[in-house]
Structure formats: C-alpha cells, structure tokens
Structure 1
Amino acid sequence: MRVLLTTWGSRGDVEPVAGLAARLLDLGAEVRVAAPPDEEFVALLDRAGVPLVPLGPSVRSVVTGVRPPSAATAFQLAPELVAARYETLLPAAEGCDVLLASGLMPTGARSVAEKLGIRYVFACFHTAGLPSSKHRPLARPGHQSSPDETDIKVLWEEDAQRVNALYREAENRHRAAIGLPPVDNVRDHAFTERPWLASDPDLFPWQDQTDLDLVVTGPWILPDERPLPADLEAFLKSGEPPVYVGFGSMALRTSPDMARDAVAAVRAHGRRVVLGRGWAELAPIDDRDDCFVVGEVNHQTLFRRVAAVVHHGGAGTTTAATQSGAPQVVVPQIVDQPYWAARVAELGIGVAHDGPTPTYDSLSAALTTVLAPETRARARTVAGMLRTDGTTVAAKMLQDMVSGEGRSTHA
C-alpha cells in the first residue's frame, strides 16, 4: 500500500500526521508526507522515518512576521496554498493508493486524488470547522454575517461563501487546467461527507458536534523515546516538580508580558518553572536559578514530571498533557483552543483561562486550583481513560479501504 499524507498548519497539524506515518511504516506501507518546510517539521518527520516533501511556505514565516496575520494575509495565502497543493501533490501522489489530507482547509487535495483516480480521506483533530446544526461557525476572514442573524443554517451557508471567496477561484482554475469540472462548494468538497476525527472520545465527545458522518479513530500520537537533555534532567532532579509554561507555535502578540506574569505567578506558589521558548520566544525574566528554558523537547516524558502545564490549548498539547496526568491551565488563543480549555475545566483536570491575555492575578488564581491535590488526582484518573491506539486504528482503516473492505470517503 502506498499512502500520501498531507497537511499545512502548526505543529498540532503536523505531529499527528507524523504519528500516523510512523505507524503505517510499521505495518509495511510506503508513506510520503507533504507538509510545510519548517525546520521543526522536518525534524518531526525524520523521527517518524519519513522525509518531508515541502508544501507551500513555512508556517513560521506566516505567523511570526512583523505584523500579525490579517484578513489580507489570508486572501493572499489561500490561493498560494491551492497552487502549492496542485504543484506538489500531483507528482507526490503518483503511484499512491490513497491521499489523506488534514490541516488548514486542504482545497486542491481531493482534486488531485480525483485526477489520479485514487482514494481520498479528509481527517481533522477537532470539529470546530465542520458544518453543524448545533452551533455557530467559527470566524473566518471575509464578509461577516450580520450580528442579528441567529439561523444556524444560514450562518453555515454564509461560512461556505466565505470559504469560497478565499479558495474557489484558484481551485476551479487549477481544476480546469487538469481537465476537471468546477466545484461549487469548496468547503464541503474538501471535507467530504465522512471525515475522520483523530481525537480521544473521552477528551473530545464528538456526538452532536457536526452533521457529517464522523469516523473516530482516536488521537494520532508520534511516540517520543528521546531522553531529556542532561541539564534539564539535572534541573528536574534538583527540587520539587516545576510548572511548565509554554505556548508552542503561538506568537502570543496578545500578551507580550506572558513570561513575566507566568514566572511571577508560579514563584508565588513556591514552585520552580520550566519555560518553553516556542515561537513566542519566551525568555527568563531574571538570572535566578529556579527557571529553566527549553526549546524542542520530549513533552511526553517532561509532562509526567511536572506539577502542572500552562499552555495554549492546542489539540496536540492538550492531549499530551492529559495523557501524562498533569493538571493544566489552558490559555486559549485561536480556533479550537477555547473548546479544549472548556473541556479541561469540565473534566476537572485543570482551569480554562478567561480569554487569551493572562495577568499575574489570573494565573495565580488558576494555579491555586491546578496545584491542589484533588486536581492532580483527577488528572491521573482521566489519563488512564484515554486511548493510545489511534494510529493503529487509522492505519488499518486505510489498509481496509485500499483492499476494498472499507467504505471510501471519496465520492
């Protein structure tokens, strides 16, 4: 079996795909992965044993520029990504049996599969962007719905129009160039009627989240056997478990004083700090020896050895922290992160921060809850409930699909 996996987005969009790629390799499949050419993503795919096929611009170049991404950025990036998918995926998918796409609206991927006559699957790690009769759509760039509009169906129709405004002209122009007819609704075309959801059903109850026929596989985890750096190991052993503070690939323009407030709040609770530098470039606020800064590191090991994790609430980080049994303070920034924050609070394994801009006082209050013994006990209980077989489930479903035993999502 030959499989092409593709995604474009932050680490939370790339690492799960790397996890699935690694499992497919274990089962004897030939795997290619087309993803953004950021250095950390190249390293992720190297750990999975799969070379990265560069797709589009680096994500870091888009989100960490002098100015924050704007609507104009989105309207420039959208056709660029469509063109990149046709240019990259057509040759990369040659000879493959199936193309699985995820990440930022993968317009173009299904058209490539259609042109080559191979199976197509859309996979997601949350349901925030999937059409639903139960909740409103998330905000997208473009002409916004009237604040007085309350009809959910109308709001989702207007969401489809916003997606069309971003992607449809480029999509249909490239489809025409390879002899395919135009697509009217590019959002629904990309998502299919039967998307896969790579998330834990206890951590992310999916029922009633969308009107589509979801296939739930469980989360896709890339096993990490790397030892912690020796100096970090020494720091961990030199005192009580610290609090980890890190925000991954979030630029955190909404809170430039995050490191100062977070370190001060943790110290007020008598705890040391492990500060994840991330794309926000968090840095020590002084030269005291109770704060240790890390770059790329094994979260699966580190999170099991900290008192709590303060993070942005991405799907991957939330899953990793939950599986480790670490209590969490989630400071959501964008897209699905408010949902993960709310779910952490609902499960009793941490606190959902109110809004994206924390202060010393708000973090101190949150840490009072997450550092309580009952929160840690609950976090450990929930950790034992989560599934760890998501990549195996998904890989075998792909095998069955190719062999003709499974249902295809490619209309």
Structure 2
Amino acid sequence: MRVVLVTYGSRGDVEPMTGLALQLQALGAEVRVCAPPDFAELLDSVDVPLTPVGWPIRALATGAVPGKASLSDIAADLTAMAYEAVVAVAEGCAAVVATGSFPAAAGARAAAEKLGVPYVFTSLSPNYLPSPHHPPPPWPGQVIPTEVTDNRGLWDLNAEHKDVLFGETINNHRTSVGLPPVDGIRDHVFTDHPFLAADPVLGPWHETPELDVAQTGAWIRPDERPLPADLEAFLAAGAEPVYVGFGSMPMRGANAQDLSRAVIEAVRAQGRRVLLGSGWADLALIDDRDDCYVVGEVNQQALFRRVAAVVHHGGAGTTTTAARAGTPQVLVPQVADQPYWAGRVTELGIGTGHDGPTPTAESLAAALKIALSPETGARAAVVAETIRTDGAKLAASLLVDKIGRSAPAESAGGTGTHSARATPKRSRGR
C-alpha cells in the first residue's frame, strides 16, 4: 500500500504530514511526501522520501522568488507544480492526502482525479472549514458588505471570493490536463468530509448539518532529540527563562533589531531570563548580558517543558506543543489561523493573545504579566492533561480503513476520488 502526502507551506504544514507519514509506515504503508525543498533534511532524518514541490517556501514568503509578485501567478504555478509532482509519484497509490496552500491542494486533487486515486483534504485548524459556528478568516483584498454579519452569509462570501481569486486559474489548469472545470472551487478542494488535524480541546469542531468532519487530534511527530549541551547549560544556570520565537513567520511592522530589543526588554521587565528562537524574524542578542541566549531549530517538545512561558506567532503546531507542555503562552498572531489560536488560548485561560501583530516592550510586558500569573500556570497544567497525543495514529488508522473499504469500488471501476469518511465523530456543517 502506497500513500502520497502533499503540502506546500512552512514547517507548521510539513511537521503534521511527517507525523502522519511515520504512523502510516508503522502500519506497513509506503509513504512519500510532496513538499517544499526546504524540508529535505527533516524528512531524510526520519527516512521519509521527499518529492520537492515548487520554490523554497522561505524564498516565496519573503518575496525572493523573481517575477512572482502577483497572487494569480503564484497560484497558477503552485497548482501546476503540485499536480506535476503528484502525478509523477501517485499512479497506483492507495490515497493522496493534501493540506497547506490552497492552490497546491487543488493541484493535488486534480492529480488524484486524473489518476483515479482517493483524495483526502486535511485542515490543520477548525476556522478554515465552513461552519455556522464561526466566521471565516479574512482574505486579502476581500471587501465584506456591512450588512453581512451572520456566519453563513460570511462563508458564502468566502466561497465567492475564492472563486474570484482561484476559480479561473484552477479551472484553466484542469482543462489543460483533460479534466472538466468545476463550480465552487473551495468546496471542491476541501470536499464535504475532510480530516481535521487539530486537538478537540484546543480547537473543537462543533457539529453542523452539512459538513462531515473527521477530527483526529493534532498530527504530532515525536521528537526524541536531546537539547544541545550549550542550551542545557543555559537552562541550568538560573531560573526558568521565557522563550520568545516566531518560527517560520516574518514579523510585520518591525525590523529584527527593534523587535529583538522589544521582546528582551519585555521579558527582563518581568524579572525573567530570555531564550530567543531566532527563526525567520532573525531575533538576536542586543547586549552581552548573560541572562539572554539565542537558539536555532531545536526540539520544542523537550524545550517547552523547561521554560516559564512561550511567546510565539500562534501557529497550530507551536500552540499545541506549548499546551501539551503545560506552559503558559503569549500569542502574537500575524496571519491566517493565528488569530483563531490566540482567541482559543485566551478562552481556555492558558495564556493570552497579544493585541496587534507588532509587540512593543510595554505591550508584550502587559501580556506576559497575564501569562506568568499563578492562575494561568495552574490552568495550563490542567489543560495539558487533556491534550491528546494520538491524532496521527488515529488518522493513519482511519485512512487505512477507508482505503480498505474503497478498494472493492475501485476494482469494480470506481474512480475512488472521494475523501475519507470514517470518523470518530460525525458532523456536517457549512
């Protein structure tokens, strides 16, 4: 049994697919991941083969890809590149599972359809999936009429906006490879029964009558790497520091030097040592004091249990890792699902969302006072016990079960282009 996993995005998109890949391998499947070339080393380290898709993701995110300034150009190329990557490796496979960039997922679905292979879309956050229980995340350039305030109406506008942004591009590609155009691009890519790889406590899915969602829990790649010796020495040299890192996220409205100064001063104002994760924000030391240390990419699953609080951008994976560790959080959301996770952390009482995307020393200090309070710490410890760690294992089991049940239909001539329907809890919504 072969399964192809497809994503175009940052580490927060690739890590969940890696977690699923390892669980599928444990069930005897042969797995290949189609992802940006940036993650060759990560996937090689766990013996999962990579088929590169598109440009390096950091180059695209920072505007370093020549001639790719417009969204339509990027979308057209990503759709085609994902299609070509999947078609090259997925013939005869048991399923194609996609997440990440919407145009890339559209390309993956087209490839699966062309090959007659079952397709499964996966969302890493509940707020991406249409539901009357929450509004859609805002899209750049979308104008919402003031009279439209209910969630269903907002989701209808979301579907229309995606058609405007991507419909012509995706359908042009489909016809170029011999597939018919489709109406309703969003629902075509998402399908009406997607997986949801988010923890049900952190990001619950509320039952709806129209969308069948398999919420499995977050797909976590177990990380057994030891922390570097010099980091261990810093941790042992004093009280628990506050970790500040924004991962694969260029921060808006501040240069690296000003942002570094703001976060270091905010943490020092709480009487805490500072541990900076350099990341794409290029956080760095501002002086030679010994209360501050900088790390690159490390095992956050181990590290977050050793710090007093975690300040981060609000990606789904980082939010889940900090919640599992029982460590209070301050989220500084920038885009996409990050405001959603900031709201959930605040609602659960395990931390707080920062007001605005650009922290100052004063604004971050105010947020840290909340996160470092005894009440927040106690609540974070309680919630940590409820976070499930078997999401990838459950998803792998559901996927294998779906593949087994779809095999007779395929052998009888069915195309097998539907997504997985086996769910621990069924719900439908719009």
- Is the TM-score greater than 0.5? yes
Return closer, same or farther for 1:242/1:210 CA change in 2, 3 Å cut-off: farther
What is the aligned partner in structure 2 of residue 50 from structure 1? 48
The reply to whether residue 86 of structure 1 matches residue 83 of structure 2 is yes
Q: For residues 216-255 of structure 1, what are the structure 2 equivalents within 5 Å?
A: 216-255=215-254
More off after superposition, 227-236 vs 126-135 = 126-135
TM-score by length of 1: 0.93
Percentage of matched positions with identical amino acids = 56
Q: Name structure 1 gaps, 5 residues minimum.
A: none
- Map of 2:266 onto structure 1: 265
Conservation of the 8 A alpha-carbon contact between 2:219 and 2:392: yes
AA partner of residue 419 (structure 2): T
Residues of 1 paired with 2:31 and 2:64: CA distance? Answer: 36
Aligned to 1:409: 419
Greater mean deviation of Cα atoms: 393-402 or 206-215: 206-215
**Which segment is superposed worse, 56-65 or 97-106?**
56-65
Structure 2: how far apart are the matches of 1:135 and 1:227?
40
CA separation of 1:167 and 1:330: change in aligned 2, threshold 3 A: same
1:113 lines up with 2:116 in the alignment = no
Q: How does 1:56-71 map to 2 (within 5 A)?
A: 56-65=54-63
Give the stretch that moved more between structures: 80-89 or 157-166.
Answer: 157-166
**TM-score between both structures, scaled by the size of structure 2:** 0.90
Q: Deviations over 1:47-80 (max 9, x none)?
A: 332122111112101112379x99x532221111
Question: Closer, same or farther in 2 for the Cα pair 1:275/1:190, shift >3 Å?
Answer: same
Aligned to 2:427: none
Indicate the residue corresponding to 1:181 in structure 2. 180
Structure-1 residue corresponding to 2:99: 102
Query: For the Cα contact (< 8 Å) 1:48–1:222, is it kept in 2?
Result: no
The answer (yes or no) to whether the contact 2:244–2:275 under 8 Å persists in 1 is: yes
- Which string of whole-angstrom CA distances, capped at 9 and with x for unpartnered residues, describes residues 247-299 of structure 1? 00110022332211110111112211110000111111111111111111000
Structure 1 residues 210 and 307: alpha-carbon distance in aligned structure 2, compared to 1, 3 A threshold: farther
**Structure 1 pair 135/316, CA: closer, same or farther in 2 (3 Å)?**
same
Query: How far has the Cα of 1:373 moved from its partner?
Result: 2.3
RMSD of aligned residue pairs (Cα, Å): 2.2
Counterpart residue type for residue 4 of structure 1: V
CA distance in 1, matches of 2:47, 2:303: 23
Letter in 2 for 1:61: A
Conserved in 2, the CA contact under 8 Å of 1:314 and 1:336?
yes
For 1:128, what is the secondary structure of its paired residue? helix
Higher relative contact order, structure no. (Cα contacts within 8 Å, ≥ 6 residues apart):
2
Aligned length, in residue pairs: 407
Deviation of 1:354 (Å): 1.2
d(CA) in 2 for partners of 1:232, 1:62 = 31
Q: Which amino acid aligns with 1:342?
A: G
| Paired position in structure 1 for 2:6 | 6
Aligned equivalent of 1:353: 354
In structure 2, C-alpha distance between the alignment counterparts of 1:86 and 1:181, rounded to whole Å? 15
CA separation of 1:343/1:135 partners in 2, compared to 1, >3 Å: closer, same or farther?
A: closer
2:413 paired residue number: none
The aligned residue for residue 36 of structure 1 is 36
Asked if the contact 2:244–2:277 (Cα under 8 Å) also holds between the matched residues in 1, the reply is yes
Distance 2:86 2:363 in 1: 46
Give 2:24's aligned amino acid. L
Change (3 A) 1:112 1:388: same
Q: Which residue does 2:334 correspond to in 1?
A: 333
- How far apart, in 2, do the equivalents of 1:209 and 1:9 lie? 28
